Every structure is written in C-alpha cells, then in structure tokens.
Chain A
C-alpha cells in the first residue's frame, strides 16, 4: 500500500469527519483544554490504522473515527475524573426553567468603542474561568454551531439545563463587558 494512498485516504477521512469528531470530543471531554490533544490522538490512531491495515480497511469513516474518539476520551481521563465529569452533567444548581431563548435579542449592547480583538480576548479569558460544562456548551454553540437540542443530546442533559447555563453565561458577559466593566 503506497504511502501516498494512505495520506490521501487520511485526508479524505479527516476532511469528512473532523467536525463530528471535534463536536464529540468537546461534548465528552473532562477538560476543554484537552480537546486538541485528544483530537490529535484520535487521528493519529486513524492514521496508524490506515498504515497498518491499508487504505481500504475503514468502511464507515464517521463511525470508525467516533469510536476511536470515544476510546481516546475514556483513556485520557482516569475513572475518577470521568465520573466527576459525568456527575457534573446531571447535577443542576438553581435557575428557573424559563425559556430564555425568546427573551434574548440577537445583538447585545456592547460598547462600540471597545476594541473588538481586545474584547474577544477578555471574553475568552472570562470563559476560560467558567466551569468545564459551561465552556463545553459555549464552544459547542458558538464554534461548532450546534443547536440547543443537539448540545443537550450530546451532553446527555435537558435542553432547559443547557439554556440556563448558556444564557446565564451570556447575561454575565453582558453585565461585565456590555457596560464596560472589567471582571
């Protein structure tokens, strides 16, 4: 099996599945800072399998990649860490189950005078301080464009839980940055 064939097959699989793999890892990881590592480990394994078994070995690209991603996520965390992560999905603390989706306008009233890139950095730093589940929800929603329903399914929790966490965070960002206050 030629190296070029393996490389081109790898590229084909990578292009077709990287979003799904990234979404899966983001939803399931214990720490979002590990996403990059787990994603790379996942595709390293895919690349290795292609090299060892041949470019035709993988029949269902997405199923295969997701299965390896699952293993990599499981392997990446100790049983205890995984358990904590699991529990954090089911434990809810406070917050009315109000459909905030309808109440939030598309645009927020951020100060136009604030430099956008600086604002992006500030909000990024703020998000980094949030709990893992909130960070995952934020990235799944805004970077991977998943709907509330899709995020709830991926994270195995209720839509209202996701809405609460997401919109509470958005409101916090508005409170801190929309009025020009520093955190």
Chain B
C-alpha cells in the first residue's frame, strides 16, 4: 500500500462520519418557529412570568369590576357602560404600541448617526447593531461590506478582545455611543475614559454570544503574550519559547526583517547580536518568570538574568536560534566601551573594539545573503 493511501486511511478513521452526523441532525426534533419566551434567561423568564401573571390578574380584576360575565363575553356587561368598559381594553394597547415605535425609531436614529459619524472618520461602516444600553452609553458593534476575513486582537484593560468577524476589517468593530450622541471606538472610549469600566462591555458580549451573527470573544490577558501585545501594540504575539535561565523563561521573537543594521547589545562580558531586525531594533529576546516581563537588556540591567553562559547554551542548542543569534564572550579578548562596562574599560590599557564590530559585520553579511 502506498504511504499516502495508508495515512489517508488512518486519518479518515479519525474524522467524523459526515453521513451519520447528517442523519443525527435530520432525525432530531424538527426545528420550529422560535417562541421568544423560551429564549429568555431563567431569571428573565421568571420576571416575565410574574409580570404576565400580575397583568392577567389586573385584567381579571378590572373585568370583574365590570361584571363577571365579561370573562366569557367580549361585549360589555349590561351593568357597565361602554365608557367604563372600553378603557380597560384600550389603555394597555395604545401606549405600548407608541413606545415600541419610539424605541425603534430612536435606536435606528442612533445607528444611522453612528454609521454617519464613523464614516466621517474615514471608515466605510455600512451597518451596526446595538448590544445594549448601560449607564450613560450604548454598546454597538458594526462593520462594512468587506467580506475579507479579518482577525483582530486588541488589549483593552486586562482583556484581550478578539474579533474574527468577516465584517469588521477596520478594527475590533465595537463602538460606544454616549447619551450625548458622541461615538467612539471601544479603545478610544477607554483611552479617553468615556467609559470608566470595561465590565458592561464584557457583560454585553456575554449576553449576545448566542447570536448567530455575533463574533467577539475576550479573555483575561496574561503571560508573555499579553505583555508582548501591549508592549508592541501588536495583534499577534510571535514569540517562541527558548528555555529557562535563572528561573526566567526566555522567549525569542519569530518575526523580524533580515538585512539592514543588525542589532547588537553588550551585556556584561557578552556581546549578543542578531540577524533579525525588529521593529523596536531590540535583540528580540524576552524574559518572564510569570509575574515580571521584560526584554533581555532590561532583565540583565534589573539583575533578573545574570547567567549569560546558560543563555549562550540555550541559544546555541536550539537550531531555530543558533543561526539567528550570536552570543560571544568579549571580556577575555576585548573591552567594551559602552553601557555598564565603561568603568571596567578605563582600567584596560588597550581597549579592543574589533570583536563586537566583527560580530555585527558578520551578521549583517549573513543577513544580506539570506
């Protein structure tokens, strides 16, 4: 048997039986028209049930005051006048209809206004929908007609918001409209303290998770990923784990541009350089012990990482970093003239700068050739 056929058989056995799933679904109870009350949360269901019961009791009482026969006869009882009986039926209907219409109008006006305002900011928002109103503002989500798939990650307060909706190519797609009619993106709203707390937004997302056209998630940010996203204002954390040094986990950046001026740092007796140029021109090495985060230079300066020999071993032992990072001991052959090494350099009679320069040049050449 051919290898690929064999693997296909192996893989197929693990995959679900599509026909069986179809059968299961079609054999399930046939879907029926939605009865809205059953979609309410239990607490709301009880509330609605209580209100309905009270309303029914009120109606019965009102009708009874006009004569018990009203229960069985829609016509006013002989004992009641038409003027007395009529308001019982009409009063609850009229304002209810008017209110409903007014709310709908107000909501759509808000949405239209938001669409217009956001479009004035250069966005091509074509629709939006309310997720609910809370203290002084409305939470709205929306987007354009662009069907290009987009995944956005934003760190706001302690939460990482993710939108994988196809309709929000301009950002997260969550907006805040204040009672004054001003509109903000969620990030803006928090930055400008328009909303003092993110919790109502979280609640609104939770309450709307069941909707088929809703596509936001959030989670509490933690760890190196969150730190990385915040620090570099990035949507994607592209760090990989290298190993442990001095109780800290070392991570390295998977991204970077090859070529250009390769960053180099001198930490203690070591010169460290890389072929990957990062956006922040750092080495792209980060450390964390779960509660403290920083790049390698910060970690060294803070005294978190002292064992650079162990770091050298980690960098050299990993094939992914071996050719990207160069770490060399310089104390025996050269004396550094920058940073913390200045005082040491003063004692040296012939400070050499050849080694680090060579290292950088070597990496630059390698980067260019790559």
Which of A32, A82, A83, A127 counts the most B-chain CB atoms under 10 A from its CB? A83
- By a CB distance below 8 angstroms, the chain B residues around A74 are 217
Contact: B7 with A142, CB < 8 Å?
A: yes
A113 is an interface residue with CB less than 8 A from chain B: no
Chain A 65-90: CB-based contact to B (< 8 A → 1; otherwise 0): 00110110011000110110011001
B239 is an interface residue with CB less than 8 A from chain A: yes
- Which of A91, A93, A142 is close to B10, meaning CB atoms less than 8 Å apart? A142
- By a CB distance below 8 angstroms, the chain B residues around A80 are 219
Bound complex: CA A91 to CA B238 (Å): 8
- By a CB distance below 8 angstroms, the chain A residues around B195 are none
Contact: A139 with B14, CB < 8 Å?
A: yes
- Category for how many chain B residues contact A: 35 or more
- Which of A3, A43, A67 is close to B30, meaning CB atoms less than 8 Å apart? A3
- Which of B209, B214, B217, B238 is close to A90, meaning CB atoms less than 8 Å apart? B238
- By a CB distance below 8 angstroms, the chain A residues around B74 are none
Query: How many A-B pairs with Cβ below 8 Å?
Result: 151
Q: Known contacts being A39-B16, A96-B319, is A50 close to B31, with CB within 8 Å?
A: yes
Residue in B closest to A140 when the chains form the complex, CB atoms: B11
Contact: B6 with A123, CB < 8 Å?
A: yes
Contact: B11 with A138, CB < 8 Å?
A: yes
Bound complex: CA A84 to CA B222 (Å): 11
Chain B 150-182: CB-based contact to A (< 8 A → 1; otherwise 0): 000000000000001110000000000000000
Which of B6, B14, B164 counts the most A-chain CB atoms under 10 A from its CB? B14
- By a CB distance below 8 angstroms, the chain A residues around B7 are 123, 138, 141-142, 170
CB distance from A152 to the nearest CB of B (A): 13
Pick 22 A–B contacts, CB within 8 A, sort by A. A6-B30, A22-B18, A43-B25, A47-B25, A48-B31, A52-B31, A67-B215, A79-B219, A83-B219, A83-B225, A90-B238, A90-B240, A90-B254, A91-B240, A95-B319, A120-B6, A123-B6, A138-B11, A142-B4, A142-B8, A142-B11, A143-B8
Contact: A63 with B166, CB < 8 Å?
A: yes
B2 is an interface residue with CB less than 8 A from chain A: yes
Chain A 115-127: CB-based contact to B (< 8 A → 1; otherwise 0): 0100110011001
Q: Known contacts being A63-B166, A67-B215, is A35 close to B16, with CB within 8 Å?
A: yes
Contact: B10 with A127, CB < 8 Å?
A: yes
Q: Known contacts being A52-B31, A106-B4, is A67 close to B213, with CB within 8 Å?
A: yes
- Which of B14, B34, B212, B236 is close to A143, meaning CB atoms less than 8 Å apart? B14
- By a CB distance below 8 angstroms, the chain A residues around B16 are 22, 35-36, 39-40
Contact: B22 with A43, CB < 8 Å?
A: yes
- By a CB distance below 8 angstroms, the chain A residues around B319 are 94-96
Which of B4, B10, B219 counts the most A-chain CB atoms under 10 A from its CB? B10
- By a CB distance below 8 angstroms, the chain B residues around A94 are 318-320
Contact: A43 with B166, CB < 8 Å?
A: no
A sample of 19 more A-B contacts (CB under 8 A), given A96-B319, A120-B6, A141-B7, is A18-B18, A26-B15, A35-B15, A35-B16, A47-B25, A49-B31, A51-B30, A64-B212, A67-B165, A70-B164, A79-B218, A83-B225, A90-B236, A90-B239, A90-B240, A93-B241, A120-B9, A124-B10, A142-B4
Dominant secondary structure at the A interface: helix
Residue in B closest to A70 when the chains form the complex, CB atoms: B164
Q: Known contacts being A40-B25, A67-B212, A71-B212, is A6 close to B31, with CB within 8 Å?
A: yes
CB distance from B75 to the nearest CB of A (A): 38
CB distance from B34 to the nearest CB of A (A): 4
- By a CB distance below 8 angstroms, the chain B residues around A168 are none
Contact: A107 with B15, CB < 8 Å?
A: no
A11 is an interface residue with CB less than 8 A from chain B: yes
Contact: B31 with A128, CB < 8 Å?
A: no
B90 is an interface residue with CB less than 8 A from chain A: no
Q: Known contacts being A18-B18, A35-B15, A70-B164, is A44 close to B28, with CB within 8 Å?
A: yes
Which of B12, B17, B213, B320 counts the most A-chain CB atoms under 10 A from its CB? B320
Bound complex: CA A93 to CA B16 (Å): 30
- Which of A48, A87, A108, A139 is close to B225, meaning CB atoms less than 8 Å apart? A87
Residue in B closest to A174 when the chains form the complex, CB atoms: B3
Chain B 197-237: CB-based contact to A (< 8 A → 1; otherwise 0): 00000000000010011110111100001000000000011
